[in-house]
Structure 1
């Protein structure tokens, strides 16, 4: 059955992610069998099934509806990869339907830095009635599984980070120009301060010499009068 094959693929992905550390352990050593998280049943509210692979202990931000986020992802069907991020994060907005609805639902509440495997039923995946796929990568009525890691959650409206976001974007976009300007400004300041210090020293020396000449002239004049 398709669901059985989907579950097998799901377990294989989870096992591969959790068993990497065992590769360097000798065969005769006592190796603790890795514990693969039990998948949650299909959530009646979200409509998807979730396995949390990498849980974040100190979760500071969770994905919410409307958030603009960046993710790393791979999609699977029947032990075959059908989708990927191409090696770089995918930027999307939750609720904008830039990806499968099942992906969006499964990411709600996901912590920044957390990795999940989300099993998506057909009606929230490639059989979604509102999404017209010209070339679907899976047969009709197929469950698919996506391994997703949230790598960035953009600041939300109303927060200080959101207010400063345009400034940060300008700085990031012009970092080379700004760095060059700072370096050149530092060089100019150094040489200018050196020149100013030399000029100040020269004036001080000239003033001292003027005073010495004035004092010396008075002494000579006084000696003649005596």
Structure 2
């Protein structure tokens, strides 16, 4: 079982853009920008590929790529950690971002599985799809 799913209950490219986040503590770095007519919104069912590592030592704790299946969830519904619900808004299909998620936007002081309490997390993310939204053909 991948560890991000536990939260369902409670890379840099040549061109890099940094987005302002809702919190100055949540880091959002666009590593593969994409233009589109429809970006992710709260309430969308999204399909995300990701690789999660610990900021402290770079240890990988989970990766959807290894399973060959993106994680599918409703964005903004509290089914994933707060850093994902906020950090994955306004993405285009095919876009990649690196999220730096402090503990208060991740698993807090409790930790989960191989993620220790108080850990800052790094997620390399890729939006693979949005239910009901076709990828723009540019």
TM-score by length of 2: 0.74
Q: Which has the higher helix share?
A: 1
Equivalent in the alignment of 2:45: 68
Following superposition, the deviation at residue 60 of structure 1 comes to 2.1
SS in 1 for 2:84: helix
Q: Which residue of 2 aligns with 1:112?
A: 93
Q: Deviations over 1:22-67 (max 9, x none)?
A: xxxxxxxxxxxxx4636557x344751111111113x122111111
Partner-residue secondary structure (3-state), 1:102: helix
2:120 matched residue in structure 1: 143
Residue segments in structure 1 that go unaligned for 5+ positions in a row:
1-12, 19-34, 162-226
2:61 aligned with 1:82, yes or no? yes
CA distance in 2 between partners of 1:89 and 1:83 (Å): 12
Q: Does 1:94 align with 2:75?
A: yes
Residue 137 of structure 1: how far off its partner (Å): 2.2
Q: 1:112 to 1:36 in 2, by over 3 A?
A: closer
Structure 2 unaligned blocks of 5 or more = 1-10
The 1-side partners of 2:26 and 2:132 are apart by 27
TM-score by length of 1: 0.47
1:37 to 2:19 alignment: no
What is the match of residue 127 of structure 1?
108
* Structure 2 Cα separation of the partners of residues 104 and 60 of structure 1: 21
Contact 2:42–2:77 at 8 Å: present in 1 too? Answer: no
* Alignment partner, residue 55 of structure 1: 33
Structure 1 runs (4+) deviating above 6 angstroms are none
Larger RCO, structures 1/2 (Cα 8 Å, 6+ apart): 2
Q: Name whichever structure is richer in strand by fraction.
A: 2
- Cα pair 1:76 1:144 within 8 Å, conserved: yes
Deviation at 1:150, TM superposition (A): 0.8
SS in 2 for 1:60: coil
- RMSD (CA atoms): 2.5
- Residues 184-205 of structure 1, C-alpha deviation per residue, up to 9 Å, x if partnerless? xxxxxxxxxxxxxxxxxxxxxx
| In structure 1, C-alpha distance between the alignment counterparts of 2:52 and 2:106, rounded to whole Å | 11
| Higher radius of gyration, 1 or 2 | 1
